[in-house]
C-alpha cells in the first residue's frame, strides 16, 4: 500500500475530525495538510494497522492545533503588553515628543517611532533591523522605561 491509497481511504474521516476541532474550514484543511506532510516522513506509518494509522493522524492534527493556539495566545499577549505606553494619550506636542525621543539612543528611538507612530509589529521591526521579535520587545520595554523616567524628571 502507498501513501496515496492511504489518503483516499482516510481523507473523509480526517477532514471530518479536522473540521470538528478547527475554528473554520481553512484551519481544518491546514491541519489535514500538515498531518499528511508529516506522514510522508514517517516511514513505519504504512506498516501500522488501519485504526492506529487513523489515531496517529488524529493525534498529529490535535497537537498541531494546540501548538497553533498556544502560539496565537503568546502573540496576542505580547501585543496587549506592548500597548502599555499609550503615546497617543500624552498631551505632549510634536516638538516635545521629538525632544524626548532624542534623549534615547538612535536605535531605541527608532524602535519606539516604528512601533507607536508607524504601528509596525515587533516582528516587522525585527525584520527591518535584523533582530528577533523578542529582542525588539525587550528594547521597546527598555525605551519605554527610560521615557517614563525622563517624563517624571521633567515634572
Q: What are the φ and ψ backbone dihedral angles of 4, each rounded to 5 degrees?
A: -65, -35
CB under 8 Å, gap of 24 or more: what pairs does 26-30 form?
Answer: 27/65, 27/68
Q: Mean pLDDT, to the nearest integer, of 139-152?
A: 88
Q: Mean pLDDT, to the nearest integer, of 61-76?
A: 84
For residue 88, what is the enclosing H or E element?
Answer: none
Q: Mean pLDDT, to the nearest integer, of 22-41?
A: 91
pLDDT at position 92 is 60
Question: Percent of the chain, pLDDT > 70?
Answer: 86
pTM over 0.85: no
Amino acid at each position: 500500500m502507498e501513501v496515496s491509497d492511504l489518503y483516499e481511504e482516510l481523507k473523509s474521516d480526517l477532514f471530518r475530525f479536522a473540521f470538528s476541532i478547527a475554528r473554520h474550514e481553512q484551519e481544518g484543511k491546514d491541519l489535514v495538510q500538515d498531518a499528511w506532510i508529516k506522514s510522508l516522513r514517517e516511514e513505519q506509518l504504512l506498516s501500522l494497522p488501519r485504526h492506529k494509522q487513523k489515531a496517529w493522524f488524529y493525534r498529529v492534527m490535535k497537537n498541531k492545533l494546540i501548538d497553533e493556539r498556544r502560539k496565537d495566545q503568546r502573540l496576542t499577549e505580547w501585543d496587549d503588553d506592548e500597548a502599555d505606553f499609550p503615546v497617543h494619550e500624552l498631551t505632549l506636542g510634536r516638538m516635545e515628543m521629538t525632544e524626548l525621543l532624542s534623549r534615547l539612543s538612535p536605535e531605541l528611538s527608532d524602535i519606539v517611532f516604528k512601533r507607536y507612530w508607524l504601528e509596525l509589529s515587533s516582528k516587522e521591526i525585527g525584520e527591518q533591523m535584523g533582530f528577533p521579535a523578542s529582542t525588539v520587545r525587550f528594547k521597546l520595554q527598555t525605551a519605554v522605561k527610560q521615557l517614563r523616567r525622563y517624563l517624571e524628571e521633567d515634572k
